[in-house]
Amino acid sequence: MTASRSSGAREHVLARIRGALSQSGTDPVEIPREYRTSGPWKPGAPDTIELLVERLVDYKAIVHRAADAGGLITAITESLGAPTTLADGAAPAVVVPVGLDAGWVEAVRAAGFEVLTDSRTDPVPLDRLDTVVAVVTAARVAIADTGTIVLDGADDQGRRAITLVPDHHICVVRADQVVGTVPEGVALLAADRPQTWISGPSATSDIELSRVEGVHGPRTLEVIIAGPAAE
Amino acid sequence: MTTFLGVPLRRKPEPELRHPNPLRGSESFPQAARHELANTQLRANLAHATSVIRAKRAEVVNEVPDWEALRDAGSAIKADVMVRLPELLEQLEEKVTARGGVVHWARDADEANKIVIELIRATGQTEVIKVKSMATQEIGLNEALEDVGIAAFETDLAELIVQLGHDRPSHILVPAIHRNRAEIREIFLREMGDAPPGLTDEPRALAMAARAHLRRKFLQSKVAISGANFAIADTGTLAVVESEGNGRMCLTLPETLITVMGIEKLLPTWQDLEVFMQLLPRSSTGERMNPYTSMWTGVTPGDGPQEFHLILLDNGRTRALADTVGRAALHCIRCSACLNVCPVYERTGGHAYGSVYPGPIGAVLTPQLTGTTGHGDPNASLPYASTLCGACYEVCPVKIDIPSLLVMLRARMVDEDRGRRIPDGWSAAMKAASWIMSDAGRFAAAEKLTGVGRLVAGKKGRISSLPFPASKWTAARDLPSPPAETFRTWWARERGES
């Protein structure tokens, strides 16, 4: 169908590029990389975490600190809030990725929510996903400088859809996953995994360039930073 | 021996187009700017919006101690991409294909549109959702789809405002920057169909109306079309940088994803993202990081679209690439910082440029993408849409020397006109000036005439309107009053005859 014409175009475009470069030159370019590849503090250090918290709050995310496992369970429960029983008497649902820590899942159930487990092989249908009240996930890495959480689709973070369609995202970041700068974050990420970089709840600046939080993605982002900061 | 026939060369009339050309307006920049400047509402909206974004950008850029080092790296990385473009494109194609994507190549807009149409038809769908993309605007994709009965729904809030308002985008990043909240409310109430009746002009209420309006579309659509901010050659990864989550919706929920990308959007390595993910958000929306960035490599089984097509678009880029100086315009990462600081853009807005790429970068990119056909071509006027103040160069995250490119293109436009048989007013005036100034006697005689200028200027000390043909000059600028005494008479008086 498009194959034959397309391959003609391929050779033609490549030939045009080579022709253009033969006129304008192909002298090799040296790339100076004098920029910072780390910040003043180590990953997971108290100052690194403090900066992350400050940046997250600045972009209207809600942040909790949990020093130990018990504190984490409390933080998850508090983030979810009290379940509002649905009209048919059923409990409201929370979606979790298949590889989420069993203790965290139990906390969701104990808080009075129905738990929907999602995986690549057994996904929650989209329409059902649209009715859940929240999603709880882990994260791959957090970047303090920019207030960014990165998800990479691992089993404790799930398919991209589950952190997008629900209106409330509760994301647990381990203290040792918090790095200072963007280069440190990029170095920890694997390009072949589908990634979502999240910096605060969805927002728009399209109306008179004033920022409004909450458009199509989750309108509430709660980040729980779990575990003690590194010494 | 040549014969001068005296027949003015006329441009071939443009073929009758069903839709306006996305890269060429119907009138020159000065003509178009005159209409736009008459719109005081537009000027007020733009002045407000650009001053807000300038302040935000300055604040977050000042936070970064190594900003200049990042710019140096960004500039060199893009220069390197140009030099190695063929091998990097082939590498990207290989990586995307290995991960289950299909790569297509398009020489021009028409070819790209045809590929998209065939791909959509193969799915049996008649509706698609779209992420904001300059590449698809540049090729007039929405109009091409409309012509064959496929409805394309823009999902970015600003694009939605433009689409519902039957309007044209006027800014690379915020296409509805020329609209204020009251105008947006009116457009929503009139065109949306499901806007809440009590809708206020509160930005939050307007954003919520858009959320409700597009929700079902996101959940039901089978095909999405996007552009790409970056494509990583050594991994085959594509990145879309956005704010609202409409991008994530389009890139994640449908079964088929079609991405249209200019061939210059490459980055050689995954590591290069560490530079560009710092440069782009701070330069464009003035945020440390944009709310959402999606990155995907081909197809991920069980997560996101299971069919992925990437269309690599030339559409004039190789024309720009052939110029040693001009090809720097291809380094652009579409942040729009140069628009926001430009004193010309701030007053005329984006529509006056006649191209989907307005502002300083548009003035150097558009004429190179399309080529120009001489004096009558509206795009030949674009390199003059600048005061050469240099603010654009200062803010450009990849250090494109836009003022130098503008000067180079001005020279090119003048050179293109050298072959013209009938001289225009400008070259006639230059010839006359040359004749006068090449002879001391003629020059002295001409100097005597400046006394008339002093009379015209009067007490206010400037001349703001002269009769034709000098009116061509005074229509756009004041002429200072000539001095009471020329240098030569001063010299003669002070130092005696030499």
pLDDT for the residue A81: 94
The domain segmentation of chain A, as residue ranges, is 33-226
Cβ–Cβ < 8 Å for A52, A61: no
Query: Do residue A146 and residue B288 have CB atoms under 8 angstroms apart?
Result: yes
A148: three-class secondary structure by DSSP: strand
Give the global pTM. 0.91
Angle between helices B67-83 and B85-98 (to 10 degrees): 90
**Cα(B396)–Cα(B392) distance, integer angstroms:** 6
How confident is the model over A106-116, as a mean pLDDT?
Answer: 97
As given in the structure block, the two tokens for residue B166 are 């039957």
Residue with token string 């400088």: A145
Beta bridge partners of A24: none
Q: Would residue B296 be called left, alpha or beta, if left means φ above 0 and alpha means ψ between -120 and 50 degrees? A: beta
Nearest CA in chain A to B48: A208
Buried b (16+ CB within 10 A) or exposed e, A100-122: bbeebbebbeebebbbbebbeee
Q: Which domains does chain B have, with CATH numbers?
A: 64-315 (3.40.50.10420), 433-495 (no CATH)
B254: three-class secondary structure by DSSP: coil
Residue B452, number of CB atoms within 10 A of its CB: 10
Residue with token string 């995986």: A119
Nearest CA in chain B to A39: B65
How confident is the model over A192-196, as a mean pLDDT?
Answer: 97
Cβ–Cβ < 8 Å for B246, A215: yes
Q: Is the pLDDT of residue A2 over 80?
A: no
As given in the structure block, the two tokens for residue B35 are 């209409």
Residues of chain B numbered 52-91 and touching chain A (CB < 8 Å): 52-53, 56, 65-66, 69-70, 72-73, 76-77, 79-80, 82-86, 89-90
Backbone angles phi, psi at B231, to 5 degrees: -130, 125
What residues contact residue B331 under an 8 Å CB cut-off, 6+ apart? B75, B78, B79, B81, B82, B264, B398, B400
CA-based torsion, B395, B396, B401, B405: positive or negative: negative
Give the burial class of B90: count Cβ atoms within 10 A of its Cβ; 0-12 exposed, 13-18 middle, 19 or more buried. Answer: middle
CATH number of A33-226: 3.40.50.10420
Cα B398–chain centre separation: 16
What residues contact residue B51 under an 8 Å CB cut-off, 6+ apart? none
**Cα(A227)–Cα(A65) distance, integer angstroms:** 8
Residues of chain B numbered 229-258 and touching chain A (CB < 8 Å): 232, 235, 237, 243-246, 248-249, 251-253
Query: Do residue B304 and residue A159 have CB atoms under 8 angstroms apart?
Result: yes
Does residue B172 belong to the interface with chain A, where contact is any CB pair within 8 Å?
no
DSSP letter at B23 equals T
Query: Do residue B77 and residue A31 have CB atoms under 8 angstroms apart?
Result: yes
pLDDT for the residue B7: 43
How confident is the model over A214-231, as a mean pLDDT?
Answer: 89
Q: Would residue B33 be called left, alpha or beta, if left means φ above 0 and alpha means ψ between -120 and 50 degrees? A: alpha
**Cα(A213)–Cα(B204) distance, integer angstroms:** 8
Which residues of chain B make contact with A208, given a CB cutoff of 8 A?
45, 48-49, 52, 180-181, 203
Per residue of chain B (498 residues), give pLDDT as tens.
Answer: 344 444 444 444 445 557 889 999 999 999 999 999 999 988 998 999 999 999 999 999 999 999 999 999 999 999 999 999 999 999 999 999 999 999 999 999 999 999 999 999 999 999 999 999 999 999 999 999 999 999 999 999 999 999 999 998 899 888 998 899 999 999 999 999 999 989 999 999 999 999 999 999 999 999 999 999 999 999 999 999 999 999 999 999 999 999 999 999 999 999 999 999 999 999 999 999 999 999 999 999 999 999 999 999 999 999 999 999 999 999 999 999 999 999 999 999 999 999 999 999 999 999 999 999 888 899 999 999 999 999 999 999 999 999 999 999 999 998 887 776 666 777 778 888 889 899 988 888 888 877 777 877 777 788 888 887 778 778 778 888 888 888 888 988 898 765
Instruction: Identify the residue among B92, B121, B267, B289 best suited for mutation to test binding to A, counting A beta carbons within 10 A and taking the highest.
Output: B289
pLDDT for the residue A1: 44
Cβ–Cβ < 8 Å for B103, B258: no
Q: Is the pLDDT of residue A36 over 50?
A: yes
Q: Which of B267, B257, B318 is nearest to B95 (CA)?
A: B267
Beta bridge partners of B154: B130
Angle between helices B157-164 and B203-220 (to 10 degrees): 90
pLDDT for the residue A3: 46
Residue with token string 């503090």: A41
Partner-chain residue, chosen from A31, A182, A207, that has the shortest CB–CB distance to B277:
A182
